[in-house]
Amino acid sequence: MAAAAAAAPGALGTLQAGRARLVAACCARLGPGWRLSGSWTVPRVDPAIWARGWTHAAGGAAWRRGYSSEVKTENELRVRYLEEENRGIVVLGINRAYAKNSLSTNLIKMLSKAVDALKSDKKVRTIIVRSEVPGIFCAGADLKERVKMNSSEVGPFVSKIRAVINEIANLPVPTIAAIDGLALGGGLELALACDIRVAASSAKMGLVETKLAIIPGGDFLEHLTLELLRG
């Protein structure tokens, strides 16, 4: 028992170092300039690597991911399996620019389907949840869609969001939320469901639905309490 206790600090340090390397390796693929909290810094990625996915903003030095203002529903979630030295890493990219990446019935259905496939895929080692839209991670539930629902549809809609968030929280592999821009309401809950959260300096988080007398419906308090206890 004493030997195990003596070895624990070293083991913990090894675990933390491994976690740092995992986050750095994954987030280095998310785009130029991503930084981790504390003393960790993610190196900038050569722009040539991002030629397919990133376009240079005209007249400035800022980078942005190219996207269309109108996206077909089948493209609202992009699932990418990274290759070569990043094999085993899967990126789930939310792509609803016209709706600020809000969680619609269709997007929730796609997320659930993707998560269901990934949890049984033995080749998957890490999952990154990110936005394909500059300046917005996820604006929470799609309230424009929700307002059109009758009372019998609202409950199942909220339950489906809660179910998907819990499915992500229970995935058997490490999950990372890459937060760039706004993460509001259900979007913040989605990030909290992941094991690790990496936020850009532009990230802003909040529960704006409480101003509308709407109680967070995705088990937010449960996930937040667990994070606070982990300290």
pLDDT score, position 32: 41
Angle at 127 between CA 104 and CA 54, to 5 degrees: 75
pLDDT score, position 26: 53
pLDDT score, position 218: 56
Q: Exactly one of 97, 99, 141, 199 is catalytic; name it.
A: 141
Q: Exactly one of 132, 177, 183, 189 is catalytic; name it.
A: 189
Class of the CATH domain delimited by 61-230: alpha beta
186 is catalytic: yes
φ, ψ (nearest 5 deg) of residue 22: -60, -50
CA-to-CA separations, 66 to 55, 60, 69, 132, 231, in angstroms, rounded:
6, 15, 10, 8, 37
Enumerate residue ranges in the chain where pLDDT < 50: 1-18, 20, 24, 28, 31-71
- Gap between the Cα atoms of 149 and 152, Å rounded: 8
Q: Exactly one of 140, 183, 193, 209 is catalytic; name it.
A: 209
Residues near 228 by beta carbon (within 8 Å), at least 6 away in sequence: none
- Gap between the Cα atoms of 158 and 149, Å rounded: 12
pLDDT score, position 151: 87
Q: Exactly one of 93, 181, 185, 186 is catalytic; name it.
A: 186
- Gap between the Cα atoms of 231 and 148, Å rounded: 41
